[in-house]
C-alpha cells in the first residue's frame, strides 16, 4: 500500500536556494514559477499570482496570525 505524500514532502524536490520565505506563514517553503509570476507555499498552501493572493478550490490559505 502506498503512503500518501504531503506538500512538505515535495520540499525535497527543491534546493534551499529555490525556496523563499512565505509571506503568509513565514516558513521557508515557498517556491515559484517565474515565467508564470506564480508562487506557492508547500507549508500553508498560500498561492500568489503576480503578487496577488488567490483562492484555491474555494479555500483561502490560513493566515499566520
C-alpha cell of residue 12 = 525535497
Q: What is the pLDDT of residues 10-43, one digit of tens each?
A: 888 888 899 999 988 899 999 998 788 899 898 8
**Structure pTM?**
0.68
Cα–Cα distance measured from residue 12 to residue 37, given in angstroms and rounded to the nearest whole number: 22
- Asked if residue 15 is part of any domain, the answer here is yes
Number of separate domains in the chain: 1
Domain that holds residue 33: 7-54
In a domain, 17, yes or no: yes
C-alpha cell at 42: 508547500
Distance CA 49, CA 42 (A): 15
Amino acid at each position: 500500500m502506498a503512503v500518501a505524500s504531503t506538500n512538505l514532502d515535495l520540499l525535497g524536490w527543491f534546493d534551499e536556494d529555490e525556496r523563499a520565505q512565505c509571506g503568509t506563514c513565514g516558513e521557508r517553503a515557498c517556491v515559484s514559477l517565474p515565467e508564470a509570476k506564480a508562487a506557492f507555499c508547500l507549508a500553508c498552501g498560500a498561492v500568489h499570482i503576480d503578487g496577488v493572493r488567490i483562492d484555491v478550490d474555494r479555500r483561502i490559505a490560513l493566515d499566520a496570525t
